Amino acid sequence: MTIQKPPGPEGLSEEDRELMRRAHHRLRKASQELEAVVAPRSIRGRWEPVAAPPEVIEAVRSALSEAYRELGRLHHQLLGWDPPSGESGQ
């Protein structure tokens, strides 16, 4: 990973900050959704978790990978940061 200084004194535009905020939010949400599918918690006295169908897991994994790639693209485009070496988001 190439570590560079943050954007210059002018910083990111309001529009760019909003793009970053949304990309981070999307990645957090996708990660939480995958956690809920692959590692659900039982609610005592209510239900026991069951395995999600493979197509559901694959759809959620794909959403997480896409969110990760988009955030990496924005980091590179707006901040000049390269993703960690060997990281592809897949």
Asked if residue 20 is part of any domain, the answer here is: yes
Residue 86 located in a structural domain: no
**Does residue 45 sit within a domain?**
no
On whether residue 89 sits in a domain, the answer given is no
Domain that holds residue 58: 15-39+50-79
Token pair recorded at residue 26:
């999307």
Residue 32 located in a structural domain: yes
pLDDT digits (tens, 9 = 90+) for 10-53: 688 999 999 999 999 999 999 999 999 998 888 788 878 888 99
Whether the predicted model's global pTM rises above the 0.85 cut: no
Question: Does residue 31 belong to any structural domain of this protein?
Answer: yes
What does the DSSP assignment read for 23-69? HHHHHHHHHHHHHHHHSPPPBTTTB---PPPHHHHHHHHHHHHHHHH
Q: Number of structural domains, the chain?
A: 1
